[in-house]
Structure 1
Amino acid sequence: MRGPLRLALVNDYEVVVAGLTRMLAPYAAQVRVVEIAANIPVSDHADLVLFDTFAQSMDNVRVEDVAPAGIPVVAYTWQNEPDVQKRALAWGAVACLSKTLSAARLVAALEDIRRGGSPDPGHTAAPSVDAAAPEETRDWPGRSEGLTERESEVMALLAAGHSNQEIAELLHVSINSVKTYLRHAYRKAEVNRRSQAVLWALDKGFTPDVLHRRVRGR
């Protein structure tokens, strides 16, 4: 009988992977987080890699930059457009799972994938991204300042120097949605101009991290 699934978590931000680690901790008998990485590919001792797309896009990062050949990668995203699963598979992921999943359903989906099957359709990108998994189980830059995850994603891309149009293309949302997210984020950050927003974001930890750590004892 195989032991718990060995899972590596990948994202540009340590706070994001730390939040995912906490979210999965109660399910250690089924899934063990053995490695977390930001901007560095994981090693080859995990069974699966969960790639959180916060402030990233499958359009501007290669699957081989996430994990070595032979280690299946699962995309983890709140994007809900109809072709998200198709794009994830074309990119090189073996599946695309929704951030709207509870921790229990996420674990079940990962176990399905490990067994070589397809996750239940309810485990793929869900029709509503607002019915998200409990926020206390996840984390992201800007959360403590009141920004939603999507507002924070937009602010992170803004801080990285992207235009509104580029942000819309990277996140596969409309330009009007980007403007709405920025308007809400500006209000919460108490800024009025783009330059002020960039400085605020950098001060609040929106600079991508470089991290590579094996989880002790795993």
Structure 2
Amino acid sequence: MATRILIADDHLLVSQGLQAMLSLSDDLELVEAVADGATAVEKVKQEGIDIVLMDVSLGNGINGIEATRQIKEHSPETRVVIITMFTDPGTVAEAVKAGADAYVSKSSTREFVLQTLYEVVNGRSVLDPNVTDGIFGRISNRDPNVLSDRELEVLQELTHGHSTKGVAERIHVSEETVKSYLKQVFRKLDVKDRTEAVAEGFRRGLVH
């Protein structure tokens, strides 16, 4: 089954270039191209998107970072690849904190962007070499920022011994959503179960 991709970029030429790139692969299916963050969030809710190619600056309305945060809250398993001209450490850090799975400069080669898509499908985070080396630690599996705010919240609830149902009630989401968050927490912390997740969380100082 092809990986379903949504493009969110308000620059027509960039959007068309990304669409042309996706058309070269039988494994990648373009669902739609949109020009603003709010529409991107709604499309993820409606269409079952696997990957969002997201610009940071999206003109009117919410920007790509806020759109990423909302997408991850609603659909933790949807991968978000930020593709932008902004490579300053502050913007990169904000994007990763919002839950972005990869950060790619628009100056990257087509081959690098395609490889990034395949990497994130397989659960790996990617940082473009064009981005400051000092930011790399912020998206590695040993940095607290690898977990989104919601994932940290779920991890904190685990320290109190709450069941999946209990966590869902406390943070006001469905049990299925909590299960999705847990899968992401386990993957990012490289652990197998709740007990290991809590222990690793304390070791890294993510919970108290």
Taking structure 1 as the reference length, what is the TM-score of the superposition? 0.47
Query: Which structure has more helix as a fraction of its residues?
Result: 2
Taking structure 2 as the reference length, what is the TM-score of the superposition? 0.48
